[in-house]
Amino acid sequence: MTRGAKKVWLFLAVLFVAVLIVSAVSGRLAKNSVLLVDLSGPIEEQKPQGIFAQLFGGKVTVLHDVTDAIDTARNDDKIAGLVVKITTPDAGWAKLQEIRSHLLAFRKSNKPSVCYLHSDLVMNRQYYLATACDQVWMVPTAPLGITGLMTQSLFLRGTLDKLRVYPDMYGIDEYKTARNQYTEKKYTPWHKEMAESLMRSAFDNYAKDASEARRLDRAAFEKALAEGPFVSKDAMDRKLVDKAAYWDEVQQYFRDKTKVWRPVELGRYLKEVGSIGLNKIAVVHATGIIVVGESDAGPDGSIMGSESVSADLRRAREDKSIKAIILRVDSPGGSAVASEIIRREVQLARKQKPVVVSMSDVAASGGYWISMSANKIIADPGTLTGSIGVVFGKMNISGLYGLLGLSTDQLTTSENATFLSETQNFTPAQRATVQKFMRDIYDNFTQGVAEGRKMKVDEVDKIARGRVWTGAQGKGIGLVDEIGGFDRALKVALELAKLDPSQPVKIVRFPEEKTLWETLLSRDDSQTIRAGVVAERLRKWLHEQPSVQVRLPMEITIR
């Protein structure tokens, strides 16, 4: 190598080292930084699984990233304040309650916190979250669209009648209204009673929490809800918000406080602070509709596979360094068989170490089934839970075939060969069989709840029958042990494991969160790519067999 070449290589080496040093220095968190949390779009329990979800799923905020960052910033002397930009966070009441509780804890640090509302129309959920900050600001031209709550359900029976499709569906029992979407045109008395009860429970939590945080008389706050929406001036006059301001004014507010505007975004902050801990606690995520098989990402969100979650529970159980397990459930249920496979692993894990269930937005039907054998169940006030019931049925589309000029013919070896035929209703004998195996599953469900919750079966039946409860209601009837978020579940797990709560905790999450590159290199996904992902997905959805479902009775949205 010539002398000139050596000089070039030496120069490049020095330059490389200098870049690394500058990067390291510039990456360090500076004094008087302000944590900036941007809440827009979906807030999920875990990162998307699978290649397609990671490539095309869009921006997803992970709940524990938000809460971990807020907690760390509270005691971080380099963080001088907090700004939460609230646009349109896609999350249920329970997830918002989790974030809100951490914001309230941050507020006690005496560091300034501003929740900045900047969507076209600020609605109830956004405002409810914002009230946890010390200051609630909004864009001057944005209406504050807080109102009373409402819940609405969509019924398809009228459309099915026009298409000459008959929903031959059954359920146990009168509150198991998953079939109502197809069999009814409006609320049944039981459906209406349940929906109204859930809405009232959500409203009570909303009014109580928001009025306390804003230091307003509750009656006055409820009156304001009844009279909303409000333009920004009226919202300030009623002390619902503190200021109508623009983003540059938010920045100036912190310059006045700390002489500098030095924002650090959520992702960067988490990389800066890292995590350490002596006591290892496993968190097994159980997210999405429950199916037999592997977890995946489906058209409507996460799919919880019985094989995947069971394997995660086994790994956590067999790892002697892990002292307790938190099963984090966010699921409306699904397959009864898949739910029982997972519940069995919960039962086995409990024999070796404490298992605590932490319920997110929804842990109902199959989501409750997988929870019922845990040592303790913790739920947020707004969690949807219970729905202890069963539903099964099929669509008879022979009328639609006739409408389209299509016809079918068939040969069978026995009457029951037509059991799942889409061109005829269940026969009386088949209907009796459906009722029999639904009753068997329901009896197993209620028996499991009775054993797990230390109740009598007839006591469980009174609060079961397919009825959905909020977490707050579930605490009063024995379905839930305590009201609280993940933090409370962690404390309970430490108590049951007889661990010192003052010692740092190392959270080990299952499934392991993978980057896109790691997912691409994983064996299963590589095989899926080689087989043709699109073809595989179509085959799965087109040929998936009916199963007895323990599912949440319709989609329940309170807004």
Band of residue 24 on the pLDDT scale cut at 50, 70, 90: very low
Distance CA 480, CA 473 (A): 9
- Tokens representing residue 70 in the block: 């807020």
Q: Is the pLDDT of residue 16 over 90?
A: no
Q: Which helix (H) or strand (E) holds 229?
A: none
Q: What is the pTM of this model?
A: 0.88
pLDDT digit string, tens, across residues 403-427: 999 999 999 999 999 999 999 999 9
- What pLDDT score was predicted for residue 56? 57
pLDDT, residue 540, reads 43
- pLDDT category of residue 559 using cuts at 50, 70 and 90: confident
pLDDT exceeds 70 at position 13: no
- pLDDT grade, residue 279 (50/70/90)? confident
Q: Do domains 29-147+228-273 and 279-396+463-551 have the same CATH topology?
A: yes
> What sign does the dihedral 82-504-471-204 (CA atoms) show?
negative
339-387: pLDDT as tens digits: 999 999 999 999 999 999 999 999 999 999 999 999 999 999 999 999 9
- H or E stretch at 388: none
pLDDT score recorded for residue 329: 98
Is CATH 3.40.50.150 the classification given to domain 279-396+463-551?
no
Average pLDDT over residues 529-539: 41
Domain boundaries, the chain: 29-147+228-273, 279-396+463-551
How far, in Å, are 163, 340, 513 from residue 409 at the CA level?
A: 21, 38, 50
Q: Region 186-212: what's the mean pLDDT?
A: 97
Kindly report, residue by residue over 362-375, the tens digit of the pLDDT: 999 999 999 999 99
- According to CATH, the topology of domain 29-147+228-273 is 2-enoyl-CoA Hydratase; Chain A, domain 1 (3.90.226)
- For residues 502-510, average pLDDT: 92
Residue type, 34: V
Helices (H), 139-239: 157-162, 180-183, 189-213, 218-227, 232-237
CA separation for the pair 395, 393 (Å, rounded):
7
Q: Which has more pLDDT, 14 or 270?
A: 270
The confidence band for 520, taking pLDDT boundaries of 50, 70 and 90, is low
Report phi then psi at 356, rounded to 5.
-115, 130
For residues 175 and 190, give the distance between their C-alpha atoms in angstroms, rounded to a whole number. Answer: 6
118-129 residue pLDDT tens: 999 999 999 999
pLDDT at residue 27 is higher than 60:
no
Q: Is residue 387 a contact partner of residue 356, using CB atoms and an 8 Å limit?
A: no
- Residue 320 to residue 474: CA distance in whole angstroms: 33
Q: Is the pLDDT of residue 491 over 50?
A: yes
Structure tokens at 134: 């010390």
Q: What gap in Å lies between CA 109 and CA 37, rounded to an integer?
A: 17
What's the Cα-to-Cα distance from 531 to each of 9, 521, 537, rounded to whole Å? 46, 15, 11
What average pLDDT does range 172-178 have in this prediction? Answer: 93
- Sign of the CA dihedral with 290 first, then 291, 296, and 299 last: negative
Confidence (pLDDT) at 15: 53
Q: Are 310 and 345 in contact (CB under 8 A)?
A: yes
In angstroms, rounded to a whole number, what is the distance separating the alpha carbons of residues 211 and 217?
A: 6
Count of CA atoms in the C-beta half-sphere (13 A) of 300: 8
pLDDT at residue 547, rounded to an integer: 61
Separation between Cα atoms, residue 269 and residue 556, nearest integer Å: 35
Q: Would you say residue 91 has pLDDT above 50?
A: yes
What pLDDT score does 181 carry? 94
Q: CA 494, CA 279: separation in Å to the nearest integer?
A: 9
Q: Which of 38, 104, 100 is nearest to 74 (CA)?
A: 104
503: three-class secondary structure by DSSP: coil
State the distance between the two ends of the chain, measured CA to CA, in whole angstroms. 73
